[in-house]
Structures are given as C-alpha cells and as structure tokens.
Amino acid sequence: MINFFDKERNLIVLFKDFQVTTTEALRIVTFMGKVDFDFIHFETNFEAEVFDLKNLLFSLEKMYNREIKYATFNPLSGKIRIMLSENDGQIKVKVEIYNEVSTCKLEFEYYIDQSFIPDLVKEIEIVIKEYA
C-alpha cells in the first residue's frame, strides 16, 4: 500500500491491491485508489507504468534531500495526477482525478511537511520491489 497522509496523519489517498501486466514494452500496474478528503469519499481503479512509480520515488528522494522542490506522479493513463511542491519547509500536495473520458475533474490540495516523505518512499520502494 502507498499512503498519502495530511499533517494530522489523516489518510487522504490510498493506493492498494496492485497487479502487474507485462507487455513487450511496458509493465503496467493497476491498483485501487481510495480518496477520503473532506466530504469526498470514493474508490476507483487507476493504472500506471512501473516507470511512473520509479520516477515518483526518485523525485521524492531528491525532494527530501533538498535537491529539487517538486515531485509529480502523472501516469500516462491520465486519470490521476499528484503534485508535491516544497515551499519554506511545507509541502503542498495537489491531487487531480479525472473520469475515464476526461470530461470531469476533481481537484483538491492539502499540506504536509518533510517528515512524511521517508515513509512514503519506503512504501513506494516496497511496491516497486514486489511488482517491478
């Protein structure tokens, strides 16, 4: 599981139930995403390439080491985008979720601090190790 918490350790976005499909060129990871933010509560399926998770992991590690100020999870499937941007020790997490045909977008944001990144990195490493 990959957990995105807010500052109060409330679970906002959860990725779970990972499955991998391998083609000649790609390793596609499908997973269930659960969102609990304010009055928004739902679950839906997402997919990404293993590369997308590796890219998020790489960017989060660089962000934690203060080498860059942002990290993005933006799979080609286009159903979800998570952008983390650092400013004066706070990290804004912006989440965008689209329906299947990109005619509707749900967007929200919340804040965390750097202390949340190591656990997130560990969770992503576990998923990559198991499914890559």
Q: What is the pLDDT of residue 78?
A: 81
Which position has the token pair 């957990």? Answer: 3
- Residue 125 has a pLDDT of 96
Integer-rounded Cα Rg, in Å, for the chain is 14
pLDDT of residue 126: 95
Which of 107, 123, 108 minimizes the C-alpha distance to 18? 123
Write out residues in the chain with pLDDT < 50, as ranges. none
Query: Whole-prediction pTM value?
Result: 0.90
* All domains in the chain, ordered by first residue: 2-131 (2.30.31)
Tokens 């941007």 belong to: 85
